[in-house]
Structure 1
Amino acid sequence: MILLIANTKGGVGKTSLATSIVAALSKRDKAVVGVDLDSVNMAASRSWSKNRSEVDGKFYFLAGDVSEQIKKIGADYDEVVIDAGGFDNTEYRQAISVADVILIPLLVGSSANIEGLQKVAETIEKIRADNLPKVYGVVTKAPHFGTSPELERAINEIISDPLTEPCPTTIGDRVWYTRAFDEGIGILDLQPLKRSEAKYIKSAQDEFLTLFNFIYGENNV
């Protein structure tokens, strides 16, 4: 399966989710590889992957005419995870054209975040009008407890979008994903440095695992 994590707005958590998904998939008895299309940062391929092996699951940077390259990679690996850059370009559109599943992270906050999701959905419909992929939306940077008008607005935007199916969880504070990224691991492998962190990391891991199982559960493999 080829999973594309996409949003034309940066800072929504694409790389955090992509790297943790690759790490989680590498624990399965499948061949997995990540594709990094972010020519500005190359964070997934350059920073996170530098000490990871092929067996561990790592990202490689691609640019230019990527659609055929991704198809070939998809034939060689069981699972492909694509981390798109935070902008609309040729690579982003070609990735949309070949993805089986597209995950759109929607950051809680301003109207610009809502517009990011809408633009991705509109582009998918234009490129894949006759062959729509599965499209999921997930809210990121959600509050740990309770709710807020911004959170409700983000969730309702995903629910009301005719193309996007909401994921059955939200993703909270990304500080734990940042630490996992810095260690070159996924969120599920992150260990607390002190006892007081344990419950917060466990909460983040549970949220991620719900998202992961929703995408890669038996009905979606």
Structure 2
Amino acid sequence: MTTIAIANSKGGVGKSTLAVQIAGEKARQGRDVLVINGDRQKSSELALLNRAQSDDFPPITCVRYEHGPELLAAHRAMKGKYDDIVIDVGGRDSSAMRAALAVCDVALVPFAPGSFEVWALEEMDELLRNALSTRDPFPVYALLNLAEAKAQSADNSDALSALDEYPVYQQLPFVMVRRKPFASAAGQGLSVHEVRPKNPKACYELDKLMQVLDGRPAYEVADSLDPVDGGTDVA
């Protein structure tokens, strides 16, 4: 059983979209998946309610615990009943976020290009180091999400360079571009592999992320898939 915490104290970096994508892919693998929504905005919870309206997709259980003690108790009670638990916590320092960092096997910290988003890495660095000081170590993957599509984007490069100041993060050797198919699929509670027609670029990026979360070393993932032809489509 693996618990994945998707966390950043900055909102608007795509945490809930990623939570739905990851949960959808785990479910497609035939795994029993629980999503714990620790965000008072309830984005992932509402999306997965949409998923539950159809019998065409494997089910994903979702529960909401916005407070740390409740989240800890729920995780303790449910961790033996599921193959994977994905915890989606809100964009602020909260007891739910601290609880998620206390129990996770992997932490995924998505961040976006832009000064405000990059500045939040410092606060998350402190939260992560505090968590790591009180428990067994766990990998912390920093993912540039909602990236600009231009291959030579200065904003992307500046955001990635900011990670050099914080050794707690393991920078993933790929980015996920701001693409409409991610948001559209997530709103339905689906991964981009579950919608038709598929967007090959979005699927390619998600496949790379899933390889890392499934345990493949990040340095092996960068060139592990055939590149997707095409330019910089963000549709």
Taking structure 1 as the reference length, what is the TM-score of the superposition?
Answer: 0.87
Alpha-carbon distance, 1:133 to partner: 1.6
How big is the alpha-carbon RMSD for the aligned residues of Structure 1 and Structure 2?
Answer: 2.0
Compared with structure 1, are the counterparts of its residues 132 and 189 closer, same or farther at alpha carbon in structure 2 (3 Å cutoff)?
same
Unaligned ranges ≥5, structure 1: 193-197
Find the partner of 1:124 among 128, 143, 165: 128
Contact 2:50 2:188 in 1 (8 A): no
The one of 83, 97, 122 aligned to 1:92: 97
TM-fit CA distance, 1:159 = 4.5
- Unaligned stretches of 5+ in structure 2? 219-235
1:45 matched to 2:45: yes
Q: Deviations over 1:97-139 (max 9, x none)?
A: 11111000011112x2112222112111112214232100000
Q: Look up the match of 2:23.
A: 22
Q: Does 1:114 align with 2:118?
A: yes
After the TM superposition, which residues 179-218 of structure 1 pair with which residues of structure 2 at under 5 Å, given as runs? 179-192=184-197, 201-217=199-215
Cross-structure match for 1:62: 65
- Contact 1:45-1:58 at 8 Å conserved across structures: no
**After alignment, is 10-19 or 126-135 more displaced?**
126-135
Letter matched to residue 183 of structure 1: Q
Read off the aligned partner of 2:47 and give its amino acid letter.
S
Residues 109 and 22 (structure 1), Cα distance of their counterparts in 2 relative to 1, 3 Å cut: same
Shift of 1:206: 0.3
**Using the alignment, how far apart are the partners of 2:166 and 2:59 within structure 1?**
36
Q: Which residue pairs with 2:222 in the alignment?
A: none
Cα separation, partners in 2 of 1:78 and 1:155, compared to 1, 3 Å: same
What amino acid maps onto 1:63 in structure 2? Answer: E
Task: Give the structure-2-normalised TM-score.
Answer: 0.82
Q: Retained in 1: the 8 A contact 2:47–2:188?
A: no
Provide the C-alpha distance between the structure 1 equivalents of 2:130 and 2:80, rounded to a whole number of angstroms.
26
- Does the aligned pair in 1 maintain the 2:27–2:33 contact within 8 Å? yes
Q: Hey, which bits of structure 1, 4+ residues long, moved more than 6 A? A: none
